[in-house]
Amino acid sequence: MTPSADSRAPVLSVRGLTVGFPAGRRVVQAVRGIDLDIFANEMVCVVGESGSGKSVAALAICGLLPPNAVLGGAIRLGGTDIAHADAATLRRIRGRDVGFIFQDPATTLNPVMMVGRQIAEAPVVHGQLAPAQAGARAVALLREVDIPDPEGRVRQYPHQFSGGMRQRAVIAMAMAGRPRLIIADEPTTALDVTVQAQVLAMLNRRRVETGAAVLLITHDLGVVAEVADRVMVTYAGRIVESGPVDAIFRNPRHPYTRALLRSMPRLDGDDARLDPIPGQPPTPAALPSGCAFRPRCAMSRARCAQDDPALRATGVDHHAACHFLEEIETLPAPAATVRAPDQGGAAPLLDVRDLRVHFALRSGPLRRRTGVVRAVDGVSLTLRAGETLGLVGESGCGKTTTGRAIMGLIRATGGEVRVDGQEITGFSRTRLRAVRRHMQYVFQDPYSSLNPVRTVAEIVAEPLRIHGLFDEMGGMARVAELFDRVGLSRSFMNRYPREFSGGQKQRIGIARALALQPRVLILDEPVAALDVSIQAQIVNLLQDLQQQLGLAYLFIAHDLAVVRHISDRVAVMYLGRVVEEAEKDTLYTRPAHPYTQSLLSAAPIADPALRARPGRIVLTGEIPNPASPPRGCTFHPRCFRASEICRTEAPRFAGGVACHHPGAA
């Protein structure tokens, strides 16, 4: 429960916080007046799209703003005035009173310093720990955050840790001085669902054990529902709604909060069409007059253009900034998704049989072969016109390698790949080029796949020129049609990739993939890096294109809610193999493999009432090294159902599952 303001003093109190940055002759406001209290043993989550001021506010609270920032308002951490503190005071409170967990642990950890020394460094510097005690304290902290073999790991370097282990080490570092306040800025964004669940559970456990206050910044509403006591929703540098987590999810009172919740696919959801927020968030330098959300709001009126609404009470500890709070229930519900016709009887467009991709391990000056990594080890898949096959699993399971091997971007070691009946494994680059007219790839990071020195029109036209079809298919008129189809203005055609948002760049990548009128698209994490509202726009676009063009999708992702929403069938991979495949509804409601059950159990659901749902399975341990996989069933070291046969004999794939003991959890 959230303590009342008169029961005890808050650990952190923020009043009228503003942060601006000089831009020419004026100061652009990134944060425009935020009030916030956080109490001991409380988890407050801040949500909002990129550019809403979340991270800037967090940096201001820690005194980490750049020198040119213009800070206003009051920030008090206990008895310390952060806003007016000198550099020595700020150094003293960081690490001792405040622990900061950044989004990317790889940039937080020093790559040339042993992890144990980094973890104990702050308590030693602040005089909380004698240097002679540093090693034992680092071991204890690594053990507390569930790092295996902490005595050995303290002497290792960051590159020897997995992504999830690095994030847990950063949390141990933040907790080393037993701070009163922990600020976690997107700490689980880049993590698999299983590692995310472990990190959130461990962060929550440490909060309870130490009584620390936690400010968690995230864009994942499922994470918010999983751990928050209170929620603050930010937009264009302001708080537009705040309240207890149950009130925010059950009865959102601001159109933006409601729109965010409708934009999000749910693990326990139906086929209702996602309801994305139109347009893009405004930049701090070009805010609209009145309410900043007005250009994207379904309830916008003339008054919204004139007056910026203030926060006002809508319930107990529940506030929202909208002129028309009482009318929020009148917003229409989204329509049902139109699914492509069933193609069950048609011949597959894509037929993959026993696909294998093995990489040799070499060492020594003569680069002798010392082993092999079985990145893909006997994968079979089929895909028909108008159908979407979701491919899921933890990082390192071989999803992306499978997609790239099918496309011919990586040479397969063995197996067959048939596209529209034609076997293409082993084709030369010239012959593969002809096949790629019918099969295209959309990459996870649209910026790295777009040439920064060419206009987006030239980028979209490139496949037409490579295949000698530019004039035959209509030239720039064809490019303009593609821009129309993916929802981009033709006026953007002469711009460069750097001038576009992440969602717009992904649309450009999709337009390029559609240029040759392919029949199959391989989509590799196409919405992983996008805000939830922009993600919804791209998911809807993909479903519309599939309906209009009869496209087949191989949809590679780790977000189980997105996969459920867009897929017809789902295949689950673990350590290079498919361990379960089924129709979407069957797999999500009656998973048979323990690994599938573990993945679904770890995935957060955007409903606070389900955070303690019974029967949740905690998947422990790290995914094994593919260079030395376990004997028998490769999942048995992490499996709650493993028996002696699992340790000695690999299960056959039969009835849609590869398990000696399939069945309900």
DSSP 424-440: -TT--HHHHHHHTTTEE
How far, CA to CA in Å, does 76 sit from each of 47, 185, 317? 22, 20, 21
The C-alpha atoms of residue 284 and residue 184 are separated, in whole angstroms, by 23
CB 138 within 8 A of CB 175: no
CA distance 285 to 288: 10
Domain count, the chain: 3
Is pLDDT of 1 > 50?
no
In a domain, 210, yes or no: no
Among 574, 600, 633, the domain-final residue is 574
On whether residue 308 sits in a domain, the answer given is yes
Residue 46: band (very low, low, confident or very high) from pLDDT cuts 50, 70, 90: very high
Whether 568 and 430 map to the same domain: the answer is: yes
Q: 262 and 366 in one domain?
A: no
Rounded Cα–Cα distance for residues 505 and 499 (Å): 9
CA dihedral 553, 556, 560, 564 (to 10 degrees): 10
- Claim to verify: residue 463 and residue 536 sit in the same structural domain: yes
- pLDDT over 50 (residue 3): no
Are both 284 and 371 inside the same structural domain? no
Across residues 626-646, what is the average pLDDT? 93
Please report how the helices 594-602 and 193-210 are oriented relative to each other, as an axis angle in degrees rounded to 10: 50
Check whether residue 384 and residue 442 sit in a common domain.
yes
| Residue 500 lies inside a defined structural domain of this protein | yes
Is the pLDDT assigned to residue 38 strictly greater than 60? yes
Query: Domain for residue 283, yes or no?
Result: yes
Q: Give the span between the Cα atoms of 607 and 266, in whole angstroms.
A: 9
Q: Are residues 354 and 320 located together in one domain of the fold? A: no
Prediction pTM value: 0.87
| pLDDT confidence bin for 513, thresholds 50/70/90 | very high
Question: How far is it, in rounded angstroms, from Cα 282 to Cα 288?
Answer: 8
Query: Nearest Cα to 522, choosing from 551, 554, 566?
Result: 554
pLDDT at 656: 95
- Closest by alpha carbon to 651, among 568, 583, 593, 570? 593
Tally of CB atoms within 10 A around 7? 8
Q: Which of 119-128, 222-231, 461-470, 655-664 has the lowest mean pLDDT?
A: 119-128
Q: What is the CATH number of the domain that holds 500?
A: 3.40.50.300
Same structural domain for residues 299 and 356? no
Please check whether residues 546 and 614 belong to one and the same domain: no
Residue 69 resides in a domain:
no
Domain identity same for 330 and 376: no
Per-residue model confidence (pLDDT) at position 6: 43
The mean pLDDT value for 381-396 works out to 94
Does 531 score more than 50 pLDDT?
yes
Dig out the tokens for 429 from the structure: 């680059």
Give pLDDT, residue 200.
86
Strand order in the sheet with 80-81: 26-38, 12-23, 70-77, 80-81
Give the integer Cα–Cα distance in Å for 229 and 231. Answer: 7
Question: Taken in order 245, 247, 249, 250, is the CA torsion positive or negative?
Answer: positive
Residue type, 56: V
Separation of alpha carbons 486 and 184, rounded Å:
36
Residue 299's nearest CA partner among 331, 274, 277, 275 is: 331
Q: Say if residues 506 and 446 touch (Cβ distance below 8 Å).
A: yes
User: What is the per-residue DSSP string for 506-548?
Assistant: HHHHHHHHHTT--SEEEEESTTTTS-HHHHHHHHHHHHHHHHH
Least confident range from 69-73, 262-266, 345-349, 593-597: namely: 345-349
374 and 409 fall within a common domain: yes
Domain-ending residue, one of 306, 336, 366 = 336
Which residue in 525, 448, 457, 444 sits closest to 486, CA to CA? Answer: 457
CA proximity to 62, closest of 104, 15, 14:
14
Find the domain containing 412 and state its range: 350-574
Q: Does 446 map to a domain? A: yes
Task: Say whether pLDDT at 478 is over 70.
Answer: yes
Rounded to whole angstroms, the Cα distance separating 295 from 528 reads 26
| Residue 607 counted as domain residue | yes
Same domain membership, residue 599 and residue 563 = no
Q: Do both 496 and 471 map to the same domain?
A: yes
Distance (Å, rounded) from C-alpha 235 to C-alpha 46?
Answer: 11
601 located within any domain: yes
**Per-residue pLDDT at 338:** 52
